[in-house]
């Protein structure tokens, strides 16, 4: 019994002698965390204010129609920006808001260069609304409004209903508009496209598209969303009549293998 009490007493003494180590270790941990946080903030502040990471050069790749300076201006990137903290997603979104920009990629090139790579939309046809003209790409995106002295691209697309306000960068998805663009795309695959100039495509309805060519006295009627096959039939007629179909008013391609010539 005496030896057990002695061992218990010694153990209690050893335990009581260690009480001061707990706060010491807590203090060491707090000190360590303070050093880490302070060092991290110092590193962050250095990176944020370092002149070595200031943007000095902005390059634009892929600009053919657009002016590079216009792209840089729209990007919002300036020499006051820090490359490390640059919001590349925000830069990309601002550049993508330009009507002519189809896709955009923004890259950091350390220590001080920003690379903006774009893919431009290509003008495909010209929309005529009253006395105003707008360039469109193949998907119907409005690229720009033409000045009176600017030349159109492709044929004029006319008589499209329900257009409302034309906004640059918006995509026109009315079915007659989509049909007119599809007709123009199909016609460009024909041999006939190299022999005539299409001046206008009237699109009052997706099943009633009228094409006018400068060299022909008649209109060409398209519809029923079968534009690729209609273009093939038109080419057969064009070659089969030695480039001179016997039509005076219209050539209607909407009746399958029995086009109507009047």
**Cβ contacts of 100 within 8 Å, gap of 6 or more:** 65, 66, 120, 121, 143, 144
For the domain bounded by 52-120, which CATH number is listed?
A: 3.10.20.310
C-alpha pair distances (Å), 131 with each of 121, 127, 128: 24, 10, 7
Looking at the DSSP bridge assignments, the partners of residue 36 are none
Residue 126 tokens read as 């010209």
**Does residue 4 register a pLDDT over 90?**
no
40: pLDDT confidence band, cut at 50, 70 and 90? very low
Task: Find tokens 């774009």 and name the residue.
Answer: 118
Span 18-35, pLDDT tens digits? 554 556 566 555 555 555
Q: d(Cα 93, Cα 158) in Å, to the nearest integer? A: 32
Span 163-215, pLDDT tens digits? 989 999 999 999 999 999 999 999 999 999 999 999 999 999 999 999 999 99
Domain 125-261 has CATH 3.10.450: no
Q: Where are the domains of the chain?
A: 52-120, 125-261
Span 98-130, pLDDT tens digits? 999 999 999 999 989 999 999 999 999 999 999
């Amino acid at each position: 019994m005496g030896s057990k009490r002695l061992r218990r007493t010694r153990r209690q003494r050893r335990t009581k002698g260690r009480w001061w180590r707990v706060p010491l270790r807590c203090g060491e941990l707090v000190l360590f965390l303070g050093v880490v946080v302070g060092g991290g903030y110092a590193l962050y502040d250095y990176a944020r204010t370092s002149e070595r990471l200031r943007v000095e050069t902005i390059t634009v790749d892929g600009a053919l129609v657009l002016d590079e300076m216009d792209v840089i201006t729209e990007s919002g990137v300036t020499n006051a920006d820090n490359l490390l903290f640059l919001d590349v997603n925000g830069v990309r979104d601002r550049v993508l808001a330009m009507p002519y920009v189809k896709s955009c990629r923004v890259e950091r090139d350390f220590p001080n260069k920003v690379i903006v790579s774009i893919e431009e939309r290509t003008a495909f046809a010209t929309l005529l609304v009253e006395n105003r003209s707008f360039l469109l790409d193949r998907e119907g995106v409005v690229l720009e409004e033409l000045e009176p002295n600017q030349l159109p691209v492709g044929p004029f697309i006319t008589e499209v209903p329900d257009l409302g306000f034309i906004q640059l960068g918006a995509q026109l998805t009315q079915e007659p508009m989509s049909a007119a663009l599809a007709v123009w795309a199909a016609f460009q695959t024909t041999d006939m496209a190299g022999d005539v100039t299409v001046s206008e495509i009237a699109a009052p309805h997706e099943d009633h598209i009228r094409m006018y060519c400068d060299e022909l006295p008649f209109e060409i009627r398209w519809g029923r969303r079968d534009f690729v096959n209609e273009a093939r039939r038109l080419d057969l007629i064009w070659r089969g009549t030695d480039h001179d179909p016997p039509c005076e008013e219209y050539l209607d391609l909407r009746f399958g293998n029995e086009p109507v010539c009047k």
